[in-house]
Amino acid sequence: MKSNTREATGQHTRECGVSAALKQGQITPTELCQKCLSLIKKTKFLNAYITVSEEVALKQAEESEKRYKNGQSLGDLDGIPVAVKDNFSTSGIETTCASNMLKGYIPPYNATVVQKLLDQGALLMGKTNLDEFAMGSGSTDGVFGPVKNPWSYSKQYREKRKQNPHSKNEDSDWLITGGSSGGSAAAVSAFTCYAALGSDTGGSTRNPAAHCGLVGFKPSYGLVSRHGLIPLVNSMDVPGILTRCVDDAAIVLGALAGPDPKDSTTVHDPINKPFMLPSLADVSKLCIGIPKEYLVPELSSEVRSLWSKAADLFESEGAKVLEVSLPHTSYSIVCYHVLCTSEVASNMARFDGLQYGHRCDIDVSTEAMYAATRREGFNDVVRGRILSGNFFLLKENYENYFVKAQKVRRLIANDFVNAFNSGVDVLLTPTTLSEAVPYLEFIKEDNRTRSAQDDIFTQAVNMAGLPAVSIPVALSNQGLPIGLQFIGRAFCDQQLLTVAKWFEKQVQFPVIQLQELMDDCSAVLENEKLASVSLKQ
Amino acid sequence: MAAPMLRWVGRGRLWTFARVDGGSCHRRGAPTGSTSNRIRGQSSVAQQPLYTTQKPRKGEHKWAAVVGLEIHAQISSNSKLFSGSQVRFSAPPNSLVSFFDASLPGTLPVLNRRCVEAAVMTGLALNCHINKKSLFDRKHYFYADLPAGYQITQQRLPIAVNGSLTYGVCAGKKQSQVIPKTVRIKQIQLEQDSGKSLHDDLRSQTLIDLNRAGVGLLEVVLEPDLSCGEEAAAAVRELQLILQALGTSQANMAEGQLRVDANISVHHPGEPLGVRTEVKNLNSIRFLAKAIDYEIQRQIDELENGGEILNETRSFHHQLGCTMSMRDKEGKQDYSLFSQEPTLFLSVAACPVGVPSPKCGVWLSIRPWLQCDASDDNELQELPVGFLLPSEARLTHRRDLAVRFMPEPNLPPLVLYDATSLPAGADPQQVINIDQIRETLPELPRVTRERLVQQYGMLLEHSFTLLNEVGLLEFFQNVIKETRAEPKKVTSWVLNTFLGYLKQQNLAVSESPVTPSALAELLDLLDSRTISSAAAKQVFEELWKGEGKTPGQIVSEKQLELMEDRGSLEQLCHSVMEAHPQVVMDLKEGNPRAINKLIGLVRKATQSRADPAMIKEILEKKLSS
């Protein structure tokens, strides 16, 4: 795995992966774990974690250390600190979905993806913050409060702001991470872990990745098990991967992908493992599609220009770049809304306070208990989606809304099939309309409006079940990250990541500079052994 | 058997109604029901009964009833439909609950192959078309024993459709004739069972047992081709026999493995169908017939008195023998179940008499088990809650006014294969072959009966009786195997004597003190003319005492052998004739029936040990001499 350490420390030119450092004994898993734990404490104000599983992580580190000592390392992820979004079930560790409804809920089992990470020796640092039940695009609507974007405190952003005479009070002007996997994004971005699991239903992994300058990967639907992921929309949910570089995402994907007898929607065919990504020397055989419908008026000029530059880059290196049409794109977000809320209404029906999670004090009747429990347990966003979903599912509305939306979903999926059938290997689009906005700006619009805007480029991929990845491209004029999205053919995840890796190498996106923020922590960052920000080189 | 079936099926209508002239075959409160019941004084049994009012007005105002059934049969399988937890009746409460059954967030359904095979097998046995592709749906409603808030079922595209079930209804003067009838089967769908709730009114609490939650059910939907309780009872009984023969369900109604809901309406023949009501949770065949007949009569009375029938769900109160409404129609459920005004939901308190109200008071807390340290998700032990419900207490408060459906997104379409479509190299554990299942179908009850009729020359109705009593067919076959007696003799002894004794003492075949071997030996003694049939009855009575004696022992102890000595018999005849000169005179004066009296007297003198034919022969000889 590759990493950029130069910007991070300002003094190291050697690229080295933390996996290699572990293998060579330059650092032990326990040291690594403790350093990450100390960073978690220092960055607590980011609100990235809901639960920090310090004891668990240290115990896992100890075991990992034994394996290294005995020369029995489990692989690239052994001893690597990871974080998991708080909507994946973790055995013995509270799993809240950032909702009152599940406060105090301790699952008795691990989600398949969590188990797979642990089986590879990864250290579970904690459970990360999100919008309640992953419904949102800002990581601002959870019961534990909003997540702050580490880039708000980066040298890059601060310096730009100093130059801007209009900039207001810095402390209240922090930026959102995007969402709903904002906690995972902030956790990786602030170096508190090397990889994090997000979930991606309409863009919830890719969106915060773009805002936090990370690689955010959404695998093909059916490639990675959903068992243990507390569902938002079963037919669109996919566990997502947030890392600081493409190779790391591939390593994690290699650990997670594959059929799961506990998830009937995972594909039976064995996957080629591990996901080793070749370094593309030549893109001349590649055909990149640019969907014309994604050029919307709301797109910021900076993102548009970077998108166009990226296309030029491919073309200049010999790739074929084609404009393609995905004609049903404009119906996508409405269709997504109907399908999403309908499944939400269904999935949330189990939260009645009877068996787990929150239960109200009212006990005059079963129905009264249900009603009060659900009123107290869910926030407005969740309740709103349940209400509209149940409206769509009512017998008299089912045909007009749900069935129609399903038909449109088919058309949208077919749009992609047609584009790929025309010879395109990978589609290149923006991930978000613009860079991250300040929290105070973000909350001026309601959750629904925000989600509709923020999911615009990402949710169609979920409806079609395709793999997609957001890659950080460059910093905006404000010194904030901007990401672009690559979309691949179904189950061609490896090809997609290979293209993304080539692109990542070309753009040389800068590493976030957080020394100022972490003061004494800069020592940690400058520590040679921790210099690497990624797993492998 | 084929002709009436064609007549019914060929009608090509969705609804079939009864239209036969004759008196009311069922009156309110009359002991109608299982096929053995009949009403005294009824001149003939209508095949398709027709109902008249108690006080006919405006000439003949006749009603016909239309009855359709939805039958839930619990699949006989080791584990549940979508989880690995065990299926067992009367296990400790909440001891058979997996994470999925308890609807822990993030758990997903995994289809049980055995349940699919059972559905295919049942579909084939009921002449259904098996859908090569079927789909699963979620049916949403809020109820405490439905932990996910929805039931996974097959609403849009079920696994089997368009079948038929042929059953027999007793008719004729003595109800001894069996008339074959056919009811169409709309569909068979796979679905999850719910848990059980126990409403404890004393302590105002409800207890939940999730052992049953997620057990596989076959829902068999019958078209409304039935017209009275008796037909419904006979059809359900036949289905029960088929399921038991297939082994796809134990179909024991007392244990809740077979549950029936009936849709009932009445109308005037030739006029549009009436509003129907649904009578839920009928859990014995007798109650099923009673409830349907009660409900038909209730609807007729209601309409005759100018009332109207509400489209509602009713339950049958078996002690009162009547149906009653299960819910307040106005208490429409909020479909999202949250509100700023929780008091809006108190309308549930308006429950009919006799139905416990769902007040919760202290809800059981199932929380502790979440901390339990289960390493696999197959079983959660030691849930400190819940009681097992007696089957009669299983009540439904389902308020499905706002039931919503949605495709189940976690289960891909269920694809079945046949010999032609089976993909090469497919993993046999991951595919289900319809043709292969067809080959394993056992003999069905209808075929068994035909075989009995052909093989043993018995009447069709006798074959029905043999199959209807649990274990009787096996008993019969074991006797046949061991005896030299004529099959007709065996049939007569098993159905009249043996079954008569069982019924009289209300015993099951398995509880009989007489073994098949003992009866076989007895019939051999009879067959070899060692004993008379009157003596055989005596032996049987002795055997019934269950003292462990063989028929041979009883015969010799009681000296019941036939008198083989002609000389002494002649002597006896002589003495009898001498002792009764008046009878002999009668006979000589031309009353031939008087000889029977003499025969009787001789038999009595021999303690029934003499062959009546021989006595007759000797007497005749003596008289003519």
Find the Cα–Cα–Cα–Cα dihedral B119, B130, B140, A131, rounded to 10°. 100
Does A180 participate in catalysis according to the annotation?
A: yes
> What pLDDT shows up at residue A48?
98
Asked whether the beta carbons of residue A355 and residue B147 sit closer than 8 angstroms, the reply is yes
Contact of B404 with chain A, judged by CB distance below 8 Å, is answered with yes
Does A181 participate in catalysis according to the annotation?
A: no
> What pLDDT shows up at residue A292?
96
CB-closest option in A89, A365, A394 to B360: A365
> What pLDDT shows up at residue B348?
22
Report the predicted TM-score, pTM, of the whole model to 2 decimal places: 0.83
> What pLDDT shows up at residue A106?
93
**Per-domain residue ranges of chain A:** 41-346+379-524
Are the CB atoms for B588 and B623 separated by under 8 Å?
A: yes
Residues of chain B in contact with residue A102, where contact means CB-CB under 8 angstroms, are 105
> What pLDDT shows up at residue A270?
60
Which residues lie across from B130 on neighbouring strands? B160
| CB contacts < 8 A (A, B) | 186
Residues of chain A in contact with residue B147, where contact means CB-CB under 8 angstroms, are 350, 354-355
Q: Where are the alpha helices (DSSP H) in B136-250?
A: 229-246
Does A184 participate in catalysis according to the annotation?
A: no
pLDDT in tens, B209-231: 888 999 999 999 999 999 999 99
Determine the distance in angstroms separating the CA of A526 from the nearest CA of chain B, rounded to an integer.
41
Whether the pLDDT of residue B396 is over 50: the answer is no
pLDDT in tens, B268-314: 998 999 999 999 878 899 999 999 999 999 999 999 999 999 999 99
Contact of B361 with chain A, judged by CB distance below 8 Å, is answered with yes
Lowest mean pLDDT among A41-50, A480-489, B85-94, B520-529: B85-94
Whether the pLDDT of residue B35 is over 70: the answer is no
CB-closest option in B111, B147, B346 to A368: B346
> What pLDDT shows up at residue B6?
32
Whether the pLDDT of residue B412 is over 70: the answer is yes
Contact of B215 with chain A, judged by CB distance below 8 Å, is answered with no
> What pLDDT shows up at residue B516?
95
Distance between CA B569 and CA B155 in Å, rounded?
Answer: 78
Find the Cα–Cα–Cα–Cα dihedral B174, B179, B182, B183, rounded to 10°. -10
CB-closest option in A109, A349, A355 to B150: A349
Are the CB atoms for A98 and A133 separated by under 8 Å?
A: yes
Q: Which helix (H) or strand (E) holds B260?
A: strand B258-267
Determine the distance in angstroms separating the CA of A328 from the nearest CA of chain B, rounded to an integer.
23
For chain A, percent of residues with pLDDT exceeding 70: 90
Average pLDDT, chain A: 90
Asked whether the beta carbons of residue A355 and residue B108 sit closer than 8 angstroms, the reply is no
CATH class held by domain A41-346+379-524? alpha beta
> What pLDDT shows up at residue B45?
36
Out of A42, A85, A501, A536, the active site residue is A85
Asked whether the beta carbons of residue A89 and residue B104 sit closer than 8 angstroms, the reply is yes
For chain B, percent of residues with pLDDT exceeding 70: 76
pLDDT in tens, A290-340: 999 999 999 999 999 999 999 999 999 999 999 999 999 999 999 999 999
Distance between CA A82 and CA A192 in Å, rounded?
Answer: 8
Our CA angle for A332, A334, A337, nearest 5°, is: 110
Of residues B95 and B144, more confidence is placed in: B95
> What pLDDT shows up at residue B389?
26
pLDDT in tens, B584-612: 888 888 887 888 888 888 888 887 777 78
Residues of chain A in contact with residue B149, where contact means CB-CB under 8 angstroms, are 346, 348-350, 352
Determine the distance in angstroms separating the CA of B74 from the nearest CA of chain A, rounded to an integer.
24
pLDDT in tens, A53-71: 999 999 999 999 999 999 9
> B377 to chain A: nearest residue by CA?
A109
Location of structure tokens 């004993």: B531
Asked whether the beta carbons of residue B340 and residue A375 sit closer than 8 angstroms, the reply is yes
Of residues B135 and B391, more confidence is placed in: B135
Asked whether the beta carbons of residue A89 and residue B105 sit closer than 8 angstroms, the reply is yes
Contacts of B50 (CB under 8 A, 6+ apart): B18, B19, B20, B21, B22, B24, B25, B62, B63, B64, B269
Lowest mean pLDDT among A430-444, B78-92, B148-162: B78-92
Asked whether the beta carbons of residue A375 and residue B346 sit closer than 8 angstroms, the reply is no
Of residues B48 and A370, more confidence is placed in: A370
Residues of chain B in contact with residue A370, where contact means CB-CB under 8 angstroms, are 142, 337-338, 345
Out of A73, A137, A180, A388, the active site residue is A180
Distance between CA A184 and CA A161 in Å, rounded?
Answer: 26
Residues of chain B in contact with residue A387, where contact means CB-CB under 8 angstroms, are 336
Asked whether the beta carbons of residue A363 and residue B361 sit closer than 8 angstroms, the reply is yes
- How remote is the C-alpha of B234 from its chain's centroid? 7
> What pLDDT shows up at residue A475?
97
Determine the distance in angstroms separating the CA of B118 from the nearest CA of chain A, rounded to an integer.
20
> What pLDDT shows up at residue A10?
32
pLDDT in tens, B540-567: 999 999 888 999 999 888 888 877 778 8
Distance between CA B493 and CA B96 in Å, rounded?
Answer: 46
Of residues B384 and B527, more confidence is placed in: B527
pLDDT in tens, B314-368: 989 888 889 988 764 333 444 444 433 222 222 222 222 222 222 222 222 222 1
Least Cα distance to B68 among B296, B243, B246, B250 occurs for B296
Distance between CA B461 and CA B472 in Å, rounded?
Answer: 14
User: Residues A274-282: contacts with CB within 8 Å, 24+ apart?
Assistant: A274/A250, A275/A250, A275/A251, A275/A493, A275/A494, A275/A497, A276/A250, A277/A246, A277/A247, A277/A250, A277/A494, A277/A497, A277/A498, A277/A501, A278/A498, A279/A501, A279/A502, A279/A505, A280/A498, A280/A499, A280/A501, A280/A502, A282/A318
Asked whether the beta carbons of residue B345 and residue A230 sit closer than 8 angstroms, the reply is no
Give the number of other Cβ atoms within 10 Å of residue B350's Cβ. 11
Are the CB atoms for A457 and A430 separated by under 8 Å?
A: yes
Determine the distance in angstroms separating the CA of B424 from the nearest CA of chain A, rounded to an integer.
15
Out of A19, A139, A184, A204, the active site residue is A204
Q: Of chain B residues 181-210, which have a CB less than 8 A from chain A?
A: 206, 208
- How remote is the C-alpha of A279 from its chain's centroid? 24
Determine the distance in angstroms separating the CA of A337 from the nearest CA of chain B, rounded to an integer.
15
Whether the pLDDT of residue A167 is over 80: the answer is no
> B405 to chain A: nearest residue by CA?
A393
Reported ipTM exceeds the 0.85 cut: yes
User: Residues B430-435: contacts with CB within 8 Å, 24+ apart?
Assistant: B430/A268, B432/B113, B432/B116, B432/B117, B432/B120, B434/B120, B434/B124, B434/B130, B434/B132
Rounded to an integer, the average pLDDT of B64-78 is 95
